[in-house]
Structure 1
Amino acid sequence: MRKFRQASMCFIAAPVFVLSSSGLAADRRPVAGGVSSEIADRPSADWGAPAMGRLENGVRFAILPRQGNEPGVAVLMRNEGGFIAEHRPGERGLAHLIEHVVFHSPTVGSPDDVDHFTRAGLQLTLPAPHVATTSWRESNYFLSSKTRQSADLDGILSLLREAASDLTFRADAVDGQRTSVMREMADKKLGNEIYADYIAAIAPGSPNDRIDAQNSDDVPTASIDTIRGLYRRLYRPENMMIVVVGNVRPGEVEKLIEKRFGDWKSIKPAHRQETFPMFQRNLIRPVSFSARPQGRRTALVTVVMSTPVPSSRRDQQARAEIMDLLTTRAINDRLATLQPGSPPGKVGMFIENGEQGQRQIMLWDNFAADQWKPAVTGLWKTTCDLANSGFTANEWAAAKHNLEADLKQRTINMPKTANVDLAKDLSHVLADGRDLIQPDELLSYARMMLPRISARDASNWWREQWGSGVEHLRVEDPDLARVQNPVSSIRAAAAEAVGTYTCKLS
């Protein structure tokens, strides 16, 4: 298996149909059954408390000790500043290119070795299908050591430090990776374009709308100076985070991080942190459609709102996550009941927080050919019923019972979670200003909270959430190319669904 294979973030061509676990629901008012902050003091069955801090030069770190059964330790380096930072002329796609060059570039200390990172890393790390990603807001590099020995961990940290500050960008090394990036993005072009069209409809002006879906416009022609200039601007101590997860002593690991990254100084004066554009609420239209010949067939009802600032209280973060998970389960169960016999993933609902720069709630129906009208009427009626009647006592009781069972299983599976996956989770919550809440801790919060949340409480919470966003109905179907006025036809299908209700498209 090839050990170092780059894999940039692919903009998905369809929604990721999973339960949200990020849970940044707004803290506007208490939900019945608040949870105790004392739970956070209980020791986890598998994870210790993460040790977090910042070096004097600005490098952040987080160290999560756990017993685990892995032979080594996971190390993640996260650099803030991805596609959205490519705002200067000639920079499109270069953050992704830099990610590739890291693995195939000489360094200051090894000026004649194009494969220095790979050659040195082979001695230290386990094989992995992917070791790097680039998204709109960061680049990540994640490795797992073969052993828990300090020397191996130190060697990996040394490699990452060289990647962060010592690349030479020799022309032949860069040119080889230009081809690799262009090939990778060409393979994802259709999916990227479908996703970009979707984001442009539901969240115009947000990062994934503003950035080019292909993200490779300038890769073939950008000069070495331009590439190196972006590298120096983005790869700076204040933009860097190191995360280590495994059977380690946090104090010893912190000393290793200080040893390798503590003397790193920015070449240029500190620059202003990039600000991410928010979606433009006033530009969201009530209805949109896509009739791409090679597109997907799906109907979607969404609301988009600003991502709430997470509470500083751990128990409030847990409460928000539990409410998201409960509601997602209840609505998924309702949708499945309305279409018995449908294959998994045909209908569903999910909540996404923050990754796109906004909080997004979506219900979908991946319909078959010639079935877009029933899909629209079904989804629109469901959202209208929820807004008017809310949840029934039976479906809310079932959601609570099943969520507790899910959290029990997640607790049982805690020891099986890979160190590198925990490192990714920890990097995200640290970047977002949240806490990493373990499954067993979340289960404890849920057991206190669930008995006190009635279906009426849940219905009120849902109406407040849904009403906080901008509602949008979208249909994607190649068959719409034969419809004379798709928007009017979609509106008519929605109107047919609601009867005497007041759920009208604006």
Structure 2
Amino acid sequence: MPRAYRSRSPVASGLWAALLLVACLQAPATAQDLTADLALDPAVRAGRLDNGLTYFIRPNARPARRVLLRLAVKAGSVDEADDQRGLAHMLEHMAFNGSAHFAPGELVTYLESVGSRFGPHVNAYTSFDETVYMLDLPADRAEAVTRGVEALSDFAYGATLAEAEIDRERGVVIEEWRGRLGAGARLQGAQMAALFGESRYSDRIPIGTPESLRTFTPERLRDFYRDHYRADRMAVIVVGDVDPDTMERLVRTHFSGAPGPGPTARPAFDLPSHRETRVASLGDPEVQGTSVAVVHKRPLRPLRTLQDYRAALVQSLVQQMINDRFAEIARRPDAPFIGAGAGMQTLGRTVEAFTMSARVEDGGASRGLSALAEELARARTHGFGEAELDRARRALLATYERSFNERATTESDGLASELVRYYLTGEAAPGIAAEYDLARRFLPAVTPADTAGQLQDLTRDDNRVVLATAPEK
């Protein structure tokens, strides 16, 4: 898939990455056409069980004789109560330590016996807003596939959460917390305060606190599992060299027993807006190099309809042209930065941000920030030229063409990740054939005025954050 519209990983793990958006759509179409929803890729079989659980099954033969299983759960650290901090992540650990079908220690041993190693083939992650479990199994071994679906169903509603196993795992997670103590952790608090303000996200780092991890009761972990792992907040994603009918039967057999919707809807935790520019300039002896960034926040724009897609295309071209300008500046003998980039990221479930970041020589933070600001001001004042836009347009279309021509070699991992995003965020996944067709039809209609207007909307003066980190001598 050529699109890389939004990063859904925690901001702490990807703040400085400049992500290139690739999407499409600008068409001489009617208003009714533009408000139509984008259909899900027809190669995907989608369904919903009576208890509310969603499933997606997508046959794909690369790699051959492999199947990727995912359980996406709309539950993360923001869902924790004050005395549950770190328990979303703790629960992720405990899912591998005893369940309805696997005694403690048995699951990983079994998966390794069929060639699936912990790490590259068996893994999970917990972020602010979601938890995702991932299994990569041999598709030509029917028992392994069935056992994998059993394991996934155990993650969903069959974890035993025995007190002895919980106490053993406390030490593992506390050691993980200690292992993260370094420059990043020391700078994280100030960065989070600047980005998230007085929101729940600032107080719910997924790893939790050592105090909470040492003192929580097993019952509070079980409470989190019962309250938030509900069928209507979970999806099973299956992508690989499999028969869809067989996989659908397995999903229905093993997930129909998952508990249905809870008594209350899941709340959305907003980030407070701010008119002033927040600044966090931080130093630490362990920081390797100096970095600066300017973050422009705005309400999250969905990517569900043709109209949304049209805006995403224009945004993609803006990012491409800004990045081309930064690359040209970086090639100068007296360049103010070593490298710079612009891209989009999400902050929670309600805010997205256009971020310009640069790596600069030590002592060059002010000069690097000035260069980012000057180039942005030039683009906002004068816009983009037709020749510049045409180069970006042709490069974007070439990306689509290459992805379409190579569609038969698309790896299952990318397709599975796309379906996880589709479920967790609602980001459209119409398939490369539909996207390439839209790109060829509509890209030529994008104008310099379109890109200038998009840049103005992306870089307003409110809700702005400036970040700088440097070695402390």
TM-score range, shorter chain: 0.7 to 0.9
Q: 1:146 to 1:248 in 2, by over 3 A?
A: closer
For 2:312, the equivalent position in structure 1 comes to 321
Confirm or deny: 8 A CA contact 1:299 1:366 kept in the other structure: yes
CA displacement 1:15-52 (0-9 Å, x = unmatched): 2233245x6x9xxxx956559979x99999xx752222
Structure 1 residues 69 and 14 mapped into 2: Cα distance closer, same or farther (>3 Å)? closer
Residue aligning to 1:241: 235
Tell me the distance in 2 between the aligned counterparts of 1:126 and 1:407. Answer: 33
Matches within 5 A, 1:197-216: 197-212=190-205, 214-216=207-209
Q: Aligned partners of 1:423 and 1:15: how far apart in 2?
A: 25
How much does 1:334 deviate? 0.7
The one-letter amino acid paired with 1:329 is Q
Given the two structures, how large is their TM-score scaled by the length of structure 1?
A: 0.80
- Give, in whole Å, the separation in 2 of the partners of 1:344 and 1:65: 45
Hey, what does 1:334 align to over in structure 2? 325
Aligned equivalents of 1:13 and 1:155: distance in 2? 34
Partners in 2 of 1:328 and 1:122 — Cα distance? 43
Q: In the TM superposition, what is the alpha-carbon distance from 1:65 to its structure 2 partner? A: 2.4
- Within the candidate set 157, 173, 176, 2:168 is matched to 176
1:114 aligns with 2:104: yes
| Paired residue secondary structure (2:133) | strand
SS of residue in 1 equivalent to 2:360: coil
Task: Indicate if the aligned counterparts of 1:192 and 1:214 stay in contact, CA closer than 8 A.
Answer: no
Aligned residue pairs: how many?
456
Distance, in Å, in 1 between the alignment partners of 2:155 and 2:219 is: 17
| Aligned-residue offset at 1:184 | 2.1
Structure 2 residue aligned with 1:261: 255
Indicate the SS of the match to 1:104. Answer: coil
Letter aligned with residue 273 of structure 1? A
**CA positional deviation for 1:375:** 0.6
Question: Is the partner of 1:132 in helix, strand or coil?
Answer: strand
Deviation at 1:245, TM superposition (A): 1.0
Quick one: which amino acid aligns to residue 397 of structure 2?
E
Q: Tell me, in whole angstroms, the C-alpha distance in 1 between the residues paired with 2:112 and 2:464.
A: 51
Computed over aligned residues only, the root mean square deviation of the Cα atoms, in angstroms, reads: 3.3
Residue by residue, what CA displacement relative to the aligned partner does 1:147-206 show, whole Å, maximum 9, x if unpaired?
245543322111111232222222332223222222223222332443443232133245
SS in 1 for 2:374: helix
1:98 aligns to 2:88 (yes or no): no
* Cα separation, 2, equivalents of 1:317 and 1:262: 35
SS in structure 1 of the partner of residue 58 of structure 2? strand
Classify the secondary structure of the residue corresponding to 2:134.
Answer: strand
Residue 4 of structure 2: aligned partner: none
CA distance in 1: counterparts of 2:146 and 2:300, whole angstroms: 38
Match of 2:5 in 1: none
Q: Distance in 1 between matches of 2:114 and 2:10?
A: 25
State the distance in 1 between where 2:48 and 2:259 align: 14
Give unmatched runs, 5+ long, in structure 1.
1-7, 482-506
> Which residue in 1 is equivalent to 2:137?
145
Residue identity opposite 2:132 in structure 1: N
Give the structure 2 partner of residue 70 of structure 1.
64
Instruction: Using the aligned pairs only, state the percent identity.
Output: 20
> Would you say 1:12 and 2:13 are equivalent positions?
yes
Equivalent residue in structure 2 for 1:221, among 211, 215, 218: 215
Range 187-196 or range 234-243, more displaced: 187-196
TM-score, scaled relative to structure 2: 0.85
> Where does residue 270 of structure 2 map in the other structure?
278
Cα distance, 1:413 vs structure 2: 4.3
- Could you tell me how far apart the structure 1 residues matched to 2:379 and 2:11 are? 33
* Alpha-carbon separation, structure 2, partners of 1:257 and 1:278: 34
1:71-107 per-residue CA deviation (whole Å, 9 max, x = no partner) reads 1211101121111111242x111111111111122x3
**Distance across 2 between alignment mates of 1:149 and 1:426:** 24
The structure showing larger relative contact order (alpha-carbon pairs under 8 Å, at least 6 residues apart) is 2
Structure richer in strand, relative to its length: 2
* Residue type of the alignment partner of 2:146: D
CA–CA distance in structure 2, aligned partners of residues 318 and 344 of structure 1 = 33
After superposing the two structures, state which structure 1 stretch, 321-330 or 407-416, moved more.
Answer: 407-416
Whole-angstrom CA distance in 2 between matches of 1:149 and 1:209: 45
Bigger CA drift: 58-67 or 253-262?
A: 58-67
Match of 1:486 in 2: none
CA distance in 1, matches of 2:104, 2:209: 23
- 1:61 pairs with one of 55, 61, 73: 55
- Of the three residues 278, 282, 300, the one matched with 1:307 is 300
Give the conservation status (yes or no) of the 8 Å contact 1:12–1:195. no
